[in-house]
Amino acid sequence: MFDSLNERLSGLFDRLSGRGVLSEKDVDEALREVRVALLEADVALPVVRKFMDKARELATGEAIIKAVKPADQVVKIVYDGLIDMLGGEEPEPLNLAAVPPVVILMAGLQGSGKTTTSAKLALRLSKFDRKKVMMASLDTRRPAAMEQLKLLGDQVGVEVLPIVAGQSAVEITRRALQSAKLQGFDVLILDTAGRTTLDETLMNEAAEIAKISSPTETFLVADSLTGQDAVRTAEAFHARLPLTGLILTRADGDARGGAMLSMRATTGLPIKFLGAGEKIEALDVFDAKRIAGRILG
């Protein structure tokens, strides 16, 4: 994760700390280098601009130049800027505040990792939070996706709503809600249909399901490897479906991190989890401090 950014910034900080006293010009140059590093990491331009404005504001004046360890001050400015970009120090908790069965709605493009992530979340809730969890697939056009959720459910030991051929997504949602209620489930995870491209029908269907099921969390699952496309996907979904948060998958293979660093500032939505591998346990709570720490090495 963040290989290029980490390499560039640690190189810069090493050089600065070797210098001792810094002039205003040195600080300017250092910030310019930070800007290039962020752009190389594929961070969205408006997000980089905002970061730079704040960093310049903090770096002007005498604070850095007069500091005992000026290089540390530059690191702190970058660290604080990254935390701000990522949504603040404290992880945003999963919202389960509703009368059970609490509904979590999963939306996203096909191939983003939505179904795997549904099962990862189900495992997490059942294993760590001791919740009784049910999952249901609403992908009526892709029987293979329904089967996949069933297999994953068996793997993690979580109930999956039995598949009934010929039902619409709305009908399945109603059946899932009723079944989860009658059987005393705490959480119902609804895995909506995926498509390979953004399409109106898909997003409208997800919006309709949200209306019927009143989820406490409506997540967009997006592939961090797709960079700024992931950001555009999140914006497009959010325009039609009131999302409450984001889950970024394949963070384990993401050398640049542009999607992760741009998502919060661009969409205003918190990233709540990161997919960190193909294994079913590989789901991490999103923690800005950990991410910023990794970037700064």
Q: Which residues are annotated as a binding site for GTP?
A: 108-115, 191-195, 249-252
> What sign results for the dihedral spanned by CA atoms 89, 248, 107, 95?
negative
> Does 229 interact with ligand GDP (rule: CB under 6 A)?
no
**Binding mask of the shown chain, residues 263 to 282, with x at each position contacting ligand GDP by CB under 6 A:** ------------xxxx---x
Is the separation of the CB atoms in 246 and 222 below 8 Å? yes
Q: Which residue is nearest to ligand GDP (CB)?
A: 275
| C-alpha to C-alpha distances, 117 to 100, 123, 167, nearest whole angstrom | 21, 10, 24
Of 72 and 252, nearer to ligand GDP (C-beta) is 252
Least distance from ligand GDP to the Cβ atom of residue 282, Å:
6
> Does 108 interact with ligand GDP (rule: CB under 6 A)?
yes
Interface with ligand GDP: number of residues (CB under 6 A):
18
Of 64 and 193, nearer to ligand GDP (C-beta) is 193
Residue 258: partners with Cβ closer than 8 Å, 6 or more residues away: 41, 42, 43, 44, 227, 228
> Does 153 interact with ligand GDP (rule: CB under 6 A)?
no
Calpha distance 297→294 (Å, rounded) = 5
> Does 111 interact with ligand GDP (rule: CB under 6 A)?
yes
Neighbours of 274 (CB within 10 A): 26
**Binding mask of the shown chain, residues 191 to 210, with x at each position contacting ligand GDP by CB under 6 A:** ---x----------------
Calpha distance 247→218 (Å, rounded) = 10
Cα Rg of the chain, angstroms: 22
Among 31, 73, 78, 114, binds ligand GDP (CB under 6 A): 114
Stretch in the footprint of ligand GDP (CB under 6 A) among 21-29, 70-78, 95-103, 111-119: 111-119
Q: Report phi then psi at 222, rounded to 5.
A: -135, 150
- Residues engaged in binding ligand GDP (CB under 6 A): 108, 110-116, 194, 249-250, 252-253, 275-278, 282
